[in-house]
């Protein structure tokens, strides 16, 4: 019996194919599409009836007959249009779904249980603003608690001024007495504003300072001092000097768009880390910690705090920090990971990760990359659960430093190397449970690499887990970057083999065969 039941089950790949095939159909608004079909059918019936109705009804005069037919036609047309207006169906046939709100925005609006009013002051000449207005109307139909009012700012300047609006394309969101203003033409920014209104507590992300860490108060672009025409982040780029303002400005902006607060905190005074710090971020320290500063961190974690450590390969951990991480079940090893199989572009030290460990901080992540990472290791720690989040391929190995020879004689054993870990538990039997994420790289979160591929998703998902908001609606703040196509080394080799060798080879073979056949 069990064999027969098992034979009726679809293979996993067939189920995935059916899911991909039916997913676009499931997203359609079938109720409103049914109304649309009914209205079209009614209009077709009306047209057909008009062809069959005689010019004069037997029981009326010619004028009365024409009037009756005209009134009936107008009434049916009005009723059909009313039905169509009240049950409007939206069909977006573009491949990119350019005229449809994002899935994240729709999910946020569907979850609304409290009434939020949105007044959007748009510029009529701005095509993107008009498109956002149409998207807001679509979101309004998803939930009665989402009320939208579209106002042309040029035609109603007094109303815009009374709302405190000073620029075009500003959306004013209200929830009871709370107010949020968003200047945008992106529906995701509106959804982020909704999440900010719904947030019942202020969440503070604290960034450690005082040891040369990446700064959050800086310009939001790739800030390198160029010593040559160009540069890279592997061994050939060691002569590049980082400017003082190289840091985490883009991450700070993303945090603020989510409605969180970014704050710098120093441990030098020995004062305890404030209790309102929902998570502490230690990004690329340059100087050693004192034992007193480490004790401040330890006490914070024992109180149930959360911390993210982003440690570059060239940083030497002092014994106190290494002991603190070891008590959380994590060891930070020396060296630089080299992955000949899974790397970004042509740099084998820029590790590409497409497979992640099962954890709330990695749910739904796509390809991310780490430009120079050191290996991590899981240590036994009582009362602590440690989960690997990202790792290199099984063909990777570790070299002493970024200038190390990449030869087989110096590569050592090849095995998958852990790049980031998550730990959760109690330190030394403390009453509150801490949370911690440690990564052997800090550059992936910096301005230079934060917006590309899934790097920003990895950082923000980690912060959501650290602040214990992993179950909240997830939406990625838009980051302004040029569109790019990013490929791993393996994908580039595959494209090269197909386009440069396989296709020309097949053409040459077909031509040779045709010549041989015709002779």
Residues 6+ apart with CB under 8 A from 49: none
Residues 6+ apart with CB under 8 A from 286: 211, 212, 213, 315
What mean pLDDT is predicted for residues 352-378?
91
Residue where a domain stops, chosen among 449, 466, 483: 466
Per-residue pLDDT at 243: 44
Per-residue model confidence as pLDDT tens digits over 319-355? 999 999 999 999 999 999 999 988 877 788 999 998 8
Looking at the structure, tell me whether residues 374 and 518 fall in a common domain. Answer: no
Count Cβ neighbours within 10 Å for each residue of 143-157 and write b for 16 or more, e otherwise. Answer: bebbebebbbbeeee
What mean pLDDT is predicted for residues 125-129?
89
User: Helices 103-110 and 187-198: crossing angle, nearest 10°?
Assistant: 30
CB distance 106 to 139 below 8 Å: yes
Looking at the structure, tell me whether residues 37 and 182 fall in a common domain. Answer: no
Q: What is the rounded average pLDDT for all residues in the chain?
A: 80
Dig out the tokens for 88 from the structure: 């409007």
Looking at the structure, tell me whether residues 170 and 208 fall in a common domain. Answer: no
Is 476 contained in some domain?
Answer: no
Is 4 contained in some domain?
Answer: no
What mean pLDDT is predicted for residues 97-114?
86
* For residue 18, pLDDT beyond 50: no
Is 475 contained in some domain?
Answer: no
Is 344 contained in some domain?
Answer: yes
Count CB-CB contacts under 10 A for residue 513: 10
What pTM does this model have? Answer: 0.66
Is 94 contained in some domain?
Answer: no
Looking at the structure, tell me whether residues 428 and 462 fall in a common domain. Answer: yes
Looking at the structure, tell me whether residues 162 and 245 fall in a common domain. Answer: no
Segment among 36-45, 272-281, 415-424 with least mean pLDDT: 36-45
Using 50, 70 and 90 to split pLDDT, how confident is the model at 213? very high
* For residue 307, pLDDT beyond 80: yes
Angle CA(480)–CA(483)–CA(489) in degrees, nearest 5?
Answer: 125
Is 251 contained in some domain?
Answer: yes
Per-residue pLDDT at 435: 96
Is 283 contained in some domain?
Answer: yes
Residue where a domain stops, chosen among 171, 198, 225: 198
* For residue 26, pLDDT beyond 60: no
Query: What are the Cα distances from residue 10, in Å, to 2, 19, 516?
Result: 15, 12, 48
Looking at the structure, tell me whether residues 240 and 267 fall in a common domain. Answer: yes
Looking at the structure, tell me whether residues 324 and 452 fall in a common domain. Answer: yes
DSSP string computed for 448-485: TTTTSTTHHHHHHHHHHHHTT-TTSPP-PPP-------
Looking at the structure, tell me whether residues 289 and 349 fall in a common domain. Answer: yes
Dig out the tokens for 22 from the structure: 């039916």
Strand partners, 435: 306, 424
Range of the domain at 58: 27-89
Per-residue pLDDT at 72: 78
Distance (Å, whole) CA 281 – CA 446: 13
Q: What is the DSSP letter of 445?
A: G
For residue 336, the domain's CATH number is 3.40.50
Looking at the structure, tell me whether residues 174 and 302 fall in a common domain. Answer: no
Looking at the structure, tell me whether residues 150 and 272 fall in a common domain. Answer: no
Count Cβ neighbours within 10 Å for each residue of 314-335 and write b for 16 or more, e otherwise. Answer: ebebbebbeebbebbbbbbeeb
116 CB-side CA count, 13 A:
32
Residue where a domain stops, chosen among 170, 198, 226: 198
305 CB-side CA count, 13 A:
22
Is 76 contained in some domain?
Answer: yes
What mean pLDDT is predicted for residues 500-514?
88
Query: What are the Cα distances from residue 305, in Å, to 151, 158, 216, 435, 442?
Result: 46, 49, 21, 7, 21
Per-residue model confidence as pLDDT tens digits over 182-204? 888 888 889 888 888 887 778 89
The number of distinct structural domains making up the chain is: 4
Virtual CA dihedral for 277, 280, 286, 287, nearest 10 degrees?
60
Looking at the structure, tell me whether residues 184 and 213 fall in a common domain. Answer: no
pLDDT above 70 covers what percent of the chain?
Answer: 77
For residue 120, the domain's CATH number is 3.40.30.10
Looking at the structure, tell me whether residues 163 and 131 fall in a common domain. Answer: yes
């Amino acid at each position: 019996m069990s064999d027969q039941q098992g034979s009726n089950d679809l293979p996993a790949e067939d189920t995935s194919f059916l899911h991909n095939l039916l997913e676009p159909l499931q997203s359609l608004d079938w109720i409103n599409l049914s109304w649309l079909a009914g209205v079209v059918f009614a209009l077709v019936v009306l047209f057909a009836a008009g062809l069959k109705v005689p010019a004069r009804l037997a029981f009326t005069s010619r004028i009365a007959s024409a009037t009756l037919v005209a009134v009936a036609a107008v009434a049916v047309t009005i009723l059909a249009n009313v039905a169509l207006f009240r049950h409007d169906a939206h069909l977006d046939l573009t491949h990119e779904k350019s005229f449809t709100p994002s899935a994240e925005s729709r999910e946020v609006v569907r979850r609304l249980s409290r009434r939020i009013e949105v007044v959007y002051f748009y510029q009529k000449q701005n095509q993107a603003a008009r498109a956002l207005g149409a998207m807001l109307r679509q979101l309004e139909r998803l939930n009665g608690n989402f009320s939208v009012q579209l106002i042309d700012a040029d035609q109603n300047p007094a109303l815009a001024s009374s709302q405190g609006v000073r620029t075009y394309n500003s959306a004013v969101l209200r929830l009871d007495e709370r107010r949020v203003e968003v200047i945008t033409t992106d529906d995701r920014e509106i959804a982020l504003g909704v999440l900010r209104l719904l947030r019942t507590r202020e969440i503070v992300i604290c960034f450690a300072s005082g040891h040369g860490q990446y700064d959050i108060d800086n310009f939001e672009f790739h800030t390198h001092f160029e010593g040559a025409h160009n540069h890279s982040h592997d061994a050939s780029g060691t002569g590049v000097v980082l400017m003082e303002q190289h840091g985490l400005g883009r991450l700070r902006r993303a945090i603020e768009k989510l409605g969180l607060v970014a704050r710098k905190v120093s441990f030098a005074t020995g004062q305890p880390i404030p209790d309102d710090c929902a998570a502490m971020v230690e990004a690329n320290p340059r100087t050693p910690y004192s034992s007193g500063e480490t004790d401040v961190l330890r006490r914070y974690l024992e109180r149930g705090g959360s911390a993210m450590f982003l440690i570059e390969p060239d940083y030497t951990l002092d014994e106190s920090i290494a002991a603190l991480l070891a008590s959380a079940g994590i060891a930070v090893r020396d060296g630089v990971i080299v992955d000949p199989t899974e790397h970004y572009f042509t740099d084998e030290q820029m590790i590409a990760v497409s497979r992640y460990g099962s954890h709330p901080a990695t749910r739904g992540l796509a390809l991310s990359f780490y430009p120079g990472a050191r290996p991590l290791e899981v240590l036994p720690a009582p009362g602590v659960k440690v989960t690997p989040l990202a790792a290199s391929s099984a063909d990777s190995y570790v070299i002493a430093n970024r200038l190390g020879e990449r030869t087989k004689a110096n590569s050592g054993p090849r095995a998958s190397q852990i790049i980031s870990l998550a730990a959760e538990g109690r330190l030394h039997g403390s009453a509150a449970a801490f949370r911690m994420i440690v990564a052997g790289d800090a550059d992936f979160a910096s301005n230079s690499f934060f917006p590309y591929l899934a790097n920003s998703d990895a950082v923000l998902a980690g912060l959501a887990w650290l602040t214990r908001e992993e179950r909240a609606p997830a939406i990625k703040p838009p980051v302004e970057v040029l569109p790019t196509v990013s490929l791993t080394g393996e994908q580039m080799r595959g494209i090269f083999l197909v386009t440069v060798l396989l296709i020309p080879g097949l053409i040459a073979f077909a031509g040779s065969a045709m010549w041989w056949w015709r002779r």
